[in-house]
């Protein structure tokens, strides 16, 4: 079993990764079981596809929610909290978030506010959740004013990752999660980017060793960043938003819908961020080409047209200003000096971004 720790003083926690771990979860969930039961919150797809595999070593009390982004809502949050109170969940208890980023974000937020904060364990079942959202304690729901606008930082007590969960994940969702894997190479690990170029196809085809390696490297990178900058104050954690500002505009333009999954928006966004960096003379054009190629080879979009977006630069930059990170009519951009050399640039003029986008295919 691979173990990576998120070092946050008395809120530190381990991330455990092993093929088949769901079936041996009883070996590690023991300290989080009260009496002889544990509450597991999941969605209907995950429960149908993976529920029978989970051995918690105790009676599982399942709460099965509808699948999909709409579940990250006030209504579902309120119903979940009522249900947890009905089940007499106490502050010292742990609830389990068993699913993708939707379940992780919702359950994490419920845990943050139930009785002013109870514990929770993440068992992520999508590639995106395994390499990104289950680690780091960002929790949130969506509200009419926008996505993820109401939430809290609340760290889990344990993250338990079974790469075999990906066996039943739809291939499009696997590809979307893979964009976040490539992101870690692009941010700060050129050797890992080379690894993605060489092993991405095997990973996407379901190669167990490649999957585990990609998850372990990604999680180690995220754990290190979260350990240094838990609340995104120093700028270090902001690097994880590479591709997200461009991607957010594309997701907004496509209505945050299945037309463009989050990871697909991030893929096109990272290709755009590298192309923008190259145009500004910051980054070698070959690195922007390699970035687009590795994503395109995985079947991910790397252009506006590929993302199904025909809007002009003015419209797209207007979307960017609705991003949480916007302040005073501008926002920080994550740009790059090359592969593995991302940095935060707070001086980008949105008019330059709009003009750049107008020239993009
Ligand atoms: P998701 O949770 O909606 O899962 C995608 C689909 O796959 C769903 O239909 C789900 O039911 C299904 N599914 C999940 N696991 C499965 C499995 N093993 N087998 C079969 N089907 C399975 O989507 P996601 O991409 O995991 O997460 C997206 C969410 O994550 C967004 O709400 C986003 O805002 C959030 N997010 C949060 C963070 C963070 O740091 N907290 C980071 C990135 C994204
Ligand atoms: N997914 C971005 C972060 O966790 O900070």
Q: Specify the CATH number for the domain of residue 21.
A: 3.40.50.1970
The last residue of a domain, from among 113, 146, 168: 168
Task: Specify whether the backbone of 276 is left (phi greater than 0), alpha (psi in -120 to 50) or beta.
Answer: alpha
Of 26, 238, 31, 263, the residue nearest 131 (C-alpha): 263
Are 356 and 348 in contact by the 8 Å Cβ rule? The answer is no
Of 222, 225, 260, 267, the residue nearest 244 (C-alpha): 267
- Map tokens 């979009």 to a residue: 301
156 phi, psi to nearest 5 deg: -70, 170
Pocket test for ligand 2, best of 132, 135, 219, 263 (most atoms within 8 A of CB): 132
Query: 185 and 80, same structural domain?
Result: no
pLDDT of residue 293: 98
- The catalytic residues are 116, 138, 180, 222, 232, 237, 241, 244, 248, 262
- Which residue's CA is minimally distant from atom 30 of ligand 1? 101
Query: 29 and 148, same structural domain?
Result: yes
Q: Hey, which residues does 107 pair with through a beta bridge?
A: none
Of 96, 99, 153, 147, the residue nearest 120 (C-alpha): 96
Query: 195 and 244, same structural domain?
Result: yes
Query: 297 and 215, same structural domain?
Result: yes
- Map tokens 């993708």 to a residue: 100
241 close to ligand 1 (CB < 6 Angstrom):
no
pTM (two decimals): 0.97
Query: 91 and 34, same structural domain?
Result: yes
**16 C-alpha to ligand 2 centroid (Å):** 19
CATH number at residue 179: 1.20.1090.10
What span, in angstroms and rounded, lies between the C-alpha atoms of 38 and 301? 41
Neighbours of 53 (CB within 10 A): 15
142 close to ligand 1 (CB < 6 Angstrom):
no
Query: 109 and 188, same structural domain?
Result: no
Neighbours of 169 (CB within 10 A): 22
What span, in angstroms and rounded, lies between the C-alpha atoms of 114 and 156? 14
**124 C-alpha to ligand 1 centroid (Å):** 8
How many folded domains does the chain comprise? 2
What span, in angstroms and rounded, lies between the C-alpha atoms of 259 and 150? 24
Query: 181 and 164, same structural domain?
Result: no
pLDDT tens for the chain, 361 residues long, are 999 999 999 999 999 999 999 999 999 999 999 889 999 999 999 999 999 999 999 999 999 999 999 999 999 999 999 999 999 999 999 999 999 999 999 999 999 999 999 999 999 999 999 999 999 999 999 998 888 999 999 999 999 999 999 999 999 999 999 999 999 999 999 999 999 999 999 999 999 999 999 999 999 999 999 999 999 998 899 999 999 999 999 999 999 999 999 999 999 999 999 999 999 999 999 999 999 999 999 999 999 999 999 999 999 999 998 877 777 778 999 999 999 999 999 999 999 999 999 999 9
Query: 154 and 211, same structural domain?
Result: no
Residues 6+ apart with CB under 8 A from 20: 162, 164
Q: Which ligand is nearest to the CA of 128?
A: 1
Containing structural domain, residue 54: 2-168
Which CA distances in Å does 361 have to 59, 268, 310? 54, 12, 9
Query: 310 and 191, same structural domain?
Result: yes
The last residue of a domain, from among 150, 168, 186: 168
Query: 161 and 50, same structural domain?
Result: yes
Query: 235 and 285, same structural domain?
Result: yes
CA dihedral 272, 274, 276, 279 (to 10 degrees): -140
Query: 160 and 17, same structural domain?
Result: yes
Are 50 and 193 in contact by the 8 Å Cβ rule? The answer is no
pLDDT of residue 330: 80
The last residue of a domain, from among 113, 143, 168: 168
Q: Which ligand is nearest to the CA of 179?
A: 1
């Amino acid at each position: 079993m691979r173990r990576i720790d998120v070092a946050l003083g008395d809120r530190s926690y381990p991330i455990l990764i092993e093929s088949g771990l769901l079936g041996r979860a009883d070996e590690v969930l023991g300290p989080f079981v009260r009496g002889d039961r544990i509450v597991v919150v999941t969605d209907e797809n995950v429960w149908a596809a993976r529920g029978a595999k989970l051995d918690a070593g105790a009676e599982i009390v399942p709460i099965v929610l509808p699948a999909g982004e709409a579940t990250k809502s006030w209504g579902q949050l309120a119903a979940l909290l009522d249900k947890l109170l009905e089940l007499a969940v106490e502050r010292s208890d742990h609830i389990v978030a068993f699913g993708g980023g939707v379940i992780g974000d919702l359950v994490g937020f419920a845990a943050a506010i139930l009785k002013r904060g109870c514990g929770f364990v993440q068992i992520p079942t999508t590639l995106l959740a395994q390499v990104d959202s289950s680690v780091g304690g960002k929790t949130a729901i969506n509200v009419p004013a926008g996505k993820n606008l109401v939430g809290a930082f609340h760290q889990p007590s344990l993250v338990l990752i079974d790469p075999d969960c990906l066996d039943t994940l739809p291939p499009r969702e696997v590809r979307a999660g893979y964009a976040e894997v490539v992101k870690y190479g692009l941010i700060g690990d050129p050797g890992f980017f080379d690894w993605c170029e060489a092993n991405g196809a095997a990973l996407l085809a379901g190669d167990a060793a490649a999957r585990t390696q990609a998850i372990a490297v990604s999680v180690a990178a995220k754990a290190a960043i979260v350990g240094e900058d838990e609340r995104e104050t120093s700028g270090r954690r902001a690097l994880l938003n590479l591709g997200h500002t461009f991607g957010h505009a594309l997701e907004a333009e496509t209505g945050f819908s299945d037309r463009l999954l989050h990871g697909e928006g991030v893929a096109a966004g990272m290709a755009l961020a590298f192309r923008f960096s190259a145009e500004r003379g910051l980054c070698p054009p070959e690195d922007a080409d390699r970035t687009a190629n590795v994503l395109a080879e995985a079947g991910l979009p790397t252009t506006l047209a590929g993302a199904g977006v025909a809007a002009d630069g003015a419209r797209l930059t207007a979307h960017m200003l609705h991003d949480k990170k916007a302040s005073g009519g501008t926002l920080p951009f994550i740009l790059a000096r090359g592969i593995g050399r991302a940095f935060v640039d707070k001086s980008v003029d949105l008019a330059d971004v709009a003009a750049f986008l107008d020239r993009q295919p």
